[in-house]
Amino acid sequence: MKILFIIFSIIPWLIHAQTKYPTNYFSNPLEIPLILNGNFGESRSNHFHSGIDIKTQLKEGLKVFSVAKGNISRIKIAHGGFGKAIYVSHPNGYTTVYAHLKKFNNSIEEFVKKIQYKKQSYEVDLYLNTSDLKVFNNEVIGFSGNTGSSSGPHLHFETRKTVNQKALNPLLFGIEIKDTRRPVVNSLYMYKKLKSGSISLPYKVVLNKINDSTFATKKIKVNGLVSFGLSGFDRQDLAKNKNGIYEISTFLNENLINSMKFDSFFFEESIKINSLIDYSFFVENRKRILKLFLEDENDLSIYSTKNKGFVDVKQKTELLFKIVAKDIKGNSISINVPLDYENMVKATLTNSQGVSYSKKIENIIENDFEFKNSHVNIPKNTFLKNRKIKIEHPNDTLKIINPYIPLYKNIKIKFKNPNNNKGNYLAVKDYNNKELFASSKLNPLNYFELKTKKFGLYFIKNDSLSPEISPLNFKNGDWVSNKKYLKFKILDKQSGIKKYKGKINGKWMLFEYEYKKNLISYEFDSFYLSKSKNEVEIEVEDMVGNTLIKTFTFYRN
């Protein structure tokens, strides 16, 4: 009896027990005051943001420090994504990641360059042994930049659990960001669970300010299962940036229904951002509503309970639904939503979507569609629930349409190449009428093959144009003795650039590619064998194999 009592009194404590992260272990990765233009867990396209984005005063080249001692466990250089990134594993079981760097420190540069020259590739992904490169606390490991898929100079900084690479909110480790501002909720929306089990369209509810921390709606008259969604942001003290909200909880008559909190998530979960936001609304309005209820496919680990978040408004009940939005410092606002029963159902809440999408896709089975000139395979669990799409292949275009549903897995498309003209490729037009290269990969049966999460219109195009190459910071025959770099503009106007190569005096040299600027550049390094007359050869190939090679002469002493 006594033991049972102890067990029962421990259980609630266990559920609420929080993982304790060391808050004195990590120092700051930059020596300037930390100002964020991105929060952990905030919504990005098809993923949650896995770290914090720290402003670098609109500059590149700021010193980036290892936040504790450890060893470099991974170095990845890619044209997109994190650009140049360093992963440091620390003896306390956590890994820190520093991304979009301009450059590494000298010893790391040297280590990486040797491998890049050996592999003859700018892009590398290196997993290191613990003894390869050790770092001290506060050692300069690199310099901040804007490499990869970054839209302005900043440092993307992450903390992860080393064993499983789970992304953890860096602000849980005591990194200090001045923040006395409350989160802001722009708009609140009501949703109703319809008899069919589907969810209604969002119905905007007016918010009235009571005081700085409290907002309320008028009494809402409704019946059945209802919940809410909101769009909002959080701001810290030193910048105007709109970052994500850390924690949102819902209450019914002061009892907790559910709360979502961005402390950690697994990268595999990240695509399920599309089950947290109202995806259809996002497609139409490019604005994200965070749903405060869970649909069946949403098994994200950010929730505190298994409650789905709906409340049942029945006859003779008066309920108070309450939403509390908090930042990591505890600044909060609350929204009171009084609910009252009413028999009438508002017409605005009915769901009219899916009417023209006639083909039902059973989600638990694999679906194959065979047309005269194409084949589409939709693997099971692509949508996480049954969906309706439009799929047909009249004339020359394969149409796979329903802009309102997210795909969680790749579908496979095969599309017959109509003739053997050089330069044919498969293109796709999305809902914004943007035309993109899709595939130039032909299988032995002369079909273009593609794996993609993109619905749209697929058709054949032809690219007969070669890429373009032009020197940027010198002219053919120039002396460049005082220049640190050789820079070229490379461009392909149709299918896009597949690969490029730069040689000096016949030898492969390390050219870095900055796709955002259509720029490749070589920095004179120890691999350059000094000669007065030099020949540089640039070769660029597009997605369909059109290749251009250009040679230039430069002099240097």
Write out the residues near Zn ion by the rule CB under 5 A.
53, 156
CB 487 within 8 A of CB 473: yes
Q: H helices within 361-474, ranges in order?
A: none
Amino acid sitting at position 147:
T
Tokens representing 541 are 């190939």
355: left (phi over 0), alpha (psi -120 to 50) or beta: alpha
Residues 6+ apart with CB under 8 A from 367: 361, 377, 378
Residue that has been written with the tokens 């030099």 in this structure: 534
Rank residues 53 and 463 by Cβ distance to Zn ion and give the closer one. 53
Rounded-to-integer distance, Cα 105 and Cα 96, Å = 17
Rounded-to-integer distance, Cα 186 and Cα 235, Å = 13
Rank residues 271 and 283 by Cβ distance to Zn ion and give the closer one. 271
Percent of residues in the chain assigned helix, strand, coil, to nearest 5: 10, 45, 45
Pairing of strands 332-341, 214-216: parallel
Q: How far is the CB of 104 from Zn ion (least distance, A)?
A: 19
Amino acid sitting at position 223:
N
Rank residues 95 and 374 by Cβ distance to Zn ion and give the closer one. 95
Rank residues 243 and 424 by Cβ distance to Zn ion and give the closer one. 243
Amino acid sitting at position 524:
F
Rank residues 156 and 193 by Cβ distance to Zn ion and give the closer one. 156
Rank residues 60 and 463 by Cβ distance to Zn ion and give the closer one. 60
Q: How far is the CB of 99 from Zn ion (least distance, A)?
A: 7
Rounded-to-integer distance, Cα 305 and Cα 309, Å = 9
Rank residues 39 and 439 by Cβ distance to Zn ion and give the closer one. 39
Q: How far is the CB of 126 from Zn ion (least distance, A)?
A: 21
Strand partners, 506: none
Among positive and negative, which fits the CA dihedral 431, 434, 435, 437? negative
Rank residues 53 and 492 by Cβ distance to Zn ion and give the closer one. 53
Rounded-to-integer distance, Cα 357 and Cα 388, Å = 5
End-to-end CA distance of the chain, in Å?
Answer: 90
E strands, 379-439, where? 387-392, 398-401, 411-416, 424-429, 435-439
Residue count of the chain: 557
Residues 6+ apart with CB under 8 A from 478: 554, 555
272 phi/psi in degrees, rounded to 5 = -75, 5
Rounded-to-integer distance, Cα 128 and Cα 92, Å = 18
3-state secondary structure of 544: coil
The residue number with the shortest CB distance to Zn ion is 156
Q: How far is the CB of 290 from Zn ion (least distance, A)?
A: 19
Q: How far is the CB of 137 from Zn ion (least distance, A)?
A: 23
Rounded-to-integer distance, Cα 21 and Cα 171, Å = 10
Rank residues 44 and 329 by Cβ distance to Zn ion and give the closer one. 44
Rank residues 53 and 247 by Cβ distance to Zn ion and give the closer one. 53
Rank residues 53 and 541 by Cβ distance to Zn ion and give the closer one. 53
What is the arrangement of strands in the sheet containing 63-65, beginning at the earlier edge strand? 63-65, 140-143, 103-104
Beta-carbon neighbour count of residue 64 at 10 Å? 28
Q: How far is the CB of 502 from Zn ion (least distance, A)?
A: 30
Rank residues 39 and 105 by Cβ distance to Zn ion and give the closer one. 39
Q: Whose CA is closest to 411, among 424, 422, 420, 402?
A: 402
Tokens representing 348 are 């605005």
3-state secondary structure of 106: helix
516 phi/psi in degrees, rounded to 5 = -65, -25
Rank residues 158 and 541 by Cβ distance to Zn ion and give the closer one. 158
3-state secondary structure of 108: helix
Q: How far is the CB of 112 from Zn ion (least distance, A)?
A: 22
DSSP 376-410: EEE-TTSSSS-EEEEEE--TT-EEEE-TTS--SS-
Rank residues 146 and 258 by Cβ distance to Zn ion and give the closer one. 146
